[in-house]
Every structure is written in C-alpha cells, then in structure tokens.
C-alpha cells in the first residue's frame, strides 16, 4: 500500500492492482496504482496473499459477459482469494482483524487481482489450516462450482454414476473427489497424459477424449457435470436416461433433448457460500480432498497467467501470488 497526500492535505491511499480499462485481449490487463477499497458496514477488507485465475476472468476481460455483467471501468478482475482480514465493517461479527480467510467474492464487484480486496463478511470462511495461501486461493470458485453442481443442483446420491468432463481441470479435479467422497461411481474424461492423475483423485473409469468417443464406450449415467459445452454437451445427451441430470457451467442444455431422454438439468453460475467453503475446508484438512496447482505467477504477470488459462490445458489451478510465501 502506498500513501499519497492531495493538495488539500487529505490522505489518499493507493495499492497495486491488475485492472482493465476496456474489454480486449491480454494487453488490456494493466498493472497499476488503484484506490485502496473501503469496506462498507457489512464488509471486510482482506490483504490479498494470492488470487486464483479462472476461465471466467479472461471471458469477462474479453467482454463475453458484458451484457449480463455490465461492469463500470476500470475493473479489477479475480474472484478467488486467500488472505488476511485487515479491516472489518461496523456491522460485522464473527470475523476479526488478523483472521486468515478464503473466499469466492461476489463476481459483480471488483475482484482480487490486487493487494487488497473488499468482500462481504458473509462470503469469507476460515482458510483451510493445512494449505498455504497460494493453495487456498486455488479452491473457492472451482470447488464451490463442483460442489454446487453435484449436490445443490444435480442432487448426486450414493451409488449413482456420474460423468465429469475435463477431470484434470480446476472444477473437474474437485468434482471427482467430491463425488467419490459421496459414494458415487465416478467416470472422468481427460487426455491420456492425465489418466494416472484422475484415477488417483478417485475416478473409477477413465476416457481419453482424444482417442475415444465417450458416448461409444460408456453406458447410461445418472449425472453429467459439463464444464466444456458445445459438442461435448451435445454428445452427452445420448448417455442420459430416465431421471438423469445434466448440469453445465458453460451452456444451457437443450430442454427438448432433456425431456426426450426423461432427464432434467440446466446451466448454473456458482454462488458465494461461507457454509460450503467451511465444509470443503474440513474435507481438505482431514486429507479427503487435495488441491492441484498448475502454476503460480506473480501478480504483475497476470497477462502470462491468462495466456496459460486460455490454452485450456491447465492441470489444476493457476494462481497469482501477491505476497511471497
């Protein structure tokens, strides 16, 4: 944090952040001074130690979601954070200065590619004690997406067959572990290079998407968690039977095709949840769930982190380190 003084003598506090001033490619990401955010009565200000990088970040940067999320500019990206509470709002209880926390903040607000971020107190949870901040920043958005897709939306039950697309990715790697913990039979698609990884995470069956068409080698499944969309989603309909569910984070499934199969489903957007982050932290700290880190970049190299994310080949999560560990 840098403190400047205006001509009137008022103290102006600034911080370093990655912001965009307009939609565009990676060059739109600017590492610069930005105003220190002030918490409201229900907020906490977190000293960011690390921020996770997710596909939604570069999709927002490129303007794909501008109709749904009309952000004012400049915008600070990044909605995965681990850090330490530095200030609390007047109405906040249950969170204290000095608490190590992690969060998936409200995506409609400025994000965590910065030295500080303001988050609603209701959206932060104690950081898993067994994780570093870099590891913890890799958890919230991906893990909550997997959890909410499997349990809140698809209502996955013990003994059911679940197909997880992109099992080596951020969401997929958590989904495999959560589904296995819940007693499901887990099938995962990934490249052959990641077969041993997804099996270690708990996959009972593996499909190499490059050499096999999953619909040709699999029988009916009860739940499909779709993180790819497009042709992959279309080909998944043939695996659905009566009572099956298909939920996607990237595209709305065709209602007529779902009905024809006797199935249900939809598209969903992950929501902040302190309670669910608490349950996930418990699974991590007891050793049931592990966190996969693909790579760590310093905050100033957000452009390189986005370029890596856009390849679609990250094995686990990409993280921006703000405070060196």
What DSSP line would sit under 182-216, residue for residue?
TT-EEEEEE-GGGHHHHHHHT-SEEEETTT--HHH
Q: Which residues contact 249 (CB under 8 A, 6 or more apart)?
A: 145, 149, 171, 226, 227, 267, 268, 269, 270
Domain identity same for 176 and 84:
no
pLDDT of 6 strictly over 50: no
Residues 196 and 129 in one domain: no
Cis, peptide link before residue 204, omega less than 30° from 0:
no
Q: Which helix (H) or strand (E) holds 61?
A: helix 55-61
- pLDDT the model gives residue 314: 85
pLDDT digits (tens, 9 = 90+) for 51-77: 999 999 999 999 988 888 889 999 999
Looking at the structure, tell me whether residues 118 and 178 fall in a common domain. Answer: no
d(CA 285, CA 159): 25
| HSE-up (13 A, CA, CB side) for residue 44 | 27
Query: Residue 138 carries which DSSP code?
Result: T
Pick from 47, 284, 277: which is nearest to 147 by CA? 277
Q: What percent of the chain has pLDDT over 90?
A: 91
Answer whether residue 204 shows pLDDT above 80: yes
Query: Which domain CATH number covers 214?
Result: 3.40.50.720
Of 4, 86, 6, the closest CA to residue 48 belongs to 86
> According to the model, what pLDDT value does residue 313 have?
84
Has residue 285 been placed in a domain? no
Burial class (CB in 10 A: 0-12, 13-18, 19+), 131: buried
What total number of domains does the chain contain? 2
Residue 278 counted as domain residue: no
Counted residue by residue, the chain has a size of 325
In a domain, 275, yes or no: no
Edge-first strand order for the sheet with 221-226 is: 205-208, 185-190, 161-164, 221-226, 240-248, 264-267
Positive or negative: CA dihedral 171, 173, 177, 179: positive
At residue 1, the pLDDT reads 56
Residues 36 and 98 in one domain: yes
**Residue 11 clears pLDDT 90, i.e. is over it:** no
Same domain, 125 and 24: yes
8 Å CB contact between 44 and 95: yes
pLDDT in tens, 133-179: 999 999 999 999 999 999 999 999 999 999 999 999 999 999 999 99
226 located within any domain = yes
Task: Check whether residue 223 and residue 102 sit in a common domain.
Answer: no
132 found inside a domain: yes
Tell me the C-alpha distance between 146 and 302, whole Å: 25
Please tell me the distance from the alpha carbon of residue 237 to that of residue 230, in angstroms, as a whole number: 12
- Using the Cα atoms of residue 235, residue 239, residue 241 and residue 243 in order, give the sign of their dihedral: negative
Predicted TM-score (pTM) of the model is 0.92
* Residue in 150, 153, 178, 156 with CA at minimum distance from that of residue 283: 178
Residue span of the structural domain in which 248 resides: 142-267
Q: Can you say whether the dihedral through the CA atoms of 321, 116, 33, 110 is positive or negative?
A: positive
Q: Is residue 213 part of a domain?
A: yes
Residue 192: per-residue pLDDT: 95
> At residue 120, does pLDDT exceed 90?
yes
168 and 54 in a common domain: no
Q: Which of 58-62, 201-205, 228-232, 314-318 has the lowest mean pLDDT?
A: 314-318
Residues 78 and 147 in one domain: no
**Portion of the chain with pLDDT greater than 70, in percent:** 96
Same domain, yes or no: 27 and 40: yes
Segment 95-117 shows an average pLDDT of 97
Task: Identify the band that residue 324 occupies on the pLDDT scale cut at 50, 70 and 90.
Answer: confident
Q: Supply the CATH number for residue 35's domain.
A: 3.90.180.10
Whether residue 23 sits in one domain with residue 60: yes
- Are 70 and 171 members of one domain? no
CA 243 → CA 112, 155, 183, distances in Å? 40, 11, 19
Q: Is the peptide bond before 316 cis (omega within 30 degrees of 0)?
A: no
Q: What is the structure's pLDDT at 48?
A: 98
């Amino acid at each position: 944090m840098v403190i400047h003084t205006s001509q009137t003598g008022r103290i102006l506090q600034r911080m370093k952040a990655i912001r965009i001033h307009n939609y565009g490619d990676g060059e739109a990401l600017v590492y610069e001074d930005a105003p220190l955010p002030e918490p409201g009565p229900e907020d906490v200000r977190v000293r960011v130690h690390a921020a996770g990088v997710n596909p939604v970040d570069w999709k927002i940067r490129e303007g794909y979601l501008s109709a749904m999320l009309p952000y004012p500019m400049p915008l600070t990206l990044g909605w995965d954070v681990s850090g330490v509470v530095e200030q609390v709002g007047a109405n906040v209880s249950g969170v204290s200065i000095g608490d190590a926390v992690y969060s998936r903040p409200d995506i409609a607000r400025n994000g965590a590619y910065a030295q500080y971020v303001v988050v609603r107190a209701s959206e932060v949870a104690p950081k898993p004690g067994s994780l570093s901040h870099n590891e913890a920043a890799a958890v919230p958005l991906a893990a909550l997406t997997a959890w909410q897709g499997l349990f809140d939306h698809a209502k996955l039950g013990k003994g059911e067959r679940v197909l997880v697309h992109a099992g080596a990715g951020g969401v997929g790697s958590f989904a495999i572990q959560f589904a296995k913990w819940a007693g499901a039979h887990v099938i995962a698609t990934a490249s052959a290079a990641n077969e041993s990884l997804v099996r270690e995470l708990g996959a009972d069956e593996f499909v190499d998407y490059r050499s096999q068409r999953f619909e040709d080698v699999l029988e009916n499944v009860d739940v499909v968690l779709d993180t790819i969309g497009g042709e992959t989603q279309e080909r998944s309909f043939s695996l659905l039977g009566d009572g099956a569910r298909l939920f996607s984070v990237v595209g709305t499934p065709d209602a007529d095709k779902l009905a024809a199969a006797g199935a249900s489903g939809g598209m969903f957007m992950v929501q902040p949840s302190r309670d669910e982050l608490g349950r996930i932290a418990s699974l991590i700290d007891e050793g049931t769930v592990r966190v996969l880190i693909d790579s760590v970049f310093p905050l100033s190299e957000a452009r390189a982190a986005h370029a890596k994310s856009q390849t679609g080949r990250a094995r686990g999560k990409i993280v921006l380190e703000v405070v060196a560990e």
